[in-house]
Amino acid sequence: MKPIHIILAVISGAIAGATVGLLFAPAKGTDTREEIIKFLKEKGIKLKRSKMEELADEIADELQAKA
């Protein structure tokens, strides 16, 4: 198999995975971020609201990237 075919297969798989993830996502991004904030607070992580939202955004972005 030529390297270009491997690269195209990886890119196609990533696009397909992202599309399926967006179509079948269990909740909106804002809802997911709120759940992350709630979870962090339950675990005793105390940050200012802006820092908590920033951390939740980073976690949500990582989760979406892996989907």
Q: How many helices (H) and strands (E) does the chain have?
A: 3, 0
Fill in the amino acid letter for 40. L
**Which tokens go with 65?**
């990237």
pLDDT greater than 80 at residue 29: no
Sign of CA dihedral 37, 39, 41, 44: negative
**Which tokens go with 12?**
């196609």
Residue 1, pLDDT score:
59
Rounded CA separation 14/4 (Å):
15
pLDDT greater than 80 at residue 18: no
Contacts of 32 (CB under 8 A, 6+ apart): 60, 63
Residue 15, pLDDT score:
77
| Mean pLDDT of the 51-60 span | 78
Q: Can you give the pTM of this predicted structure?
A: 0.44
Who wins on pLDDT, 24 or 56? 56
pLDDT greater than 80 at residue 23: no
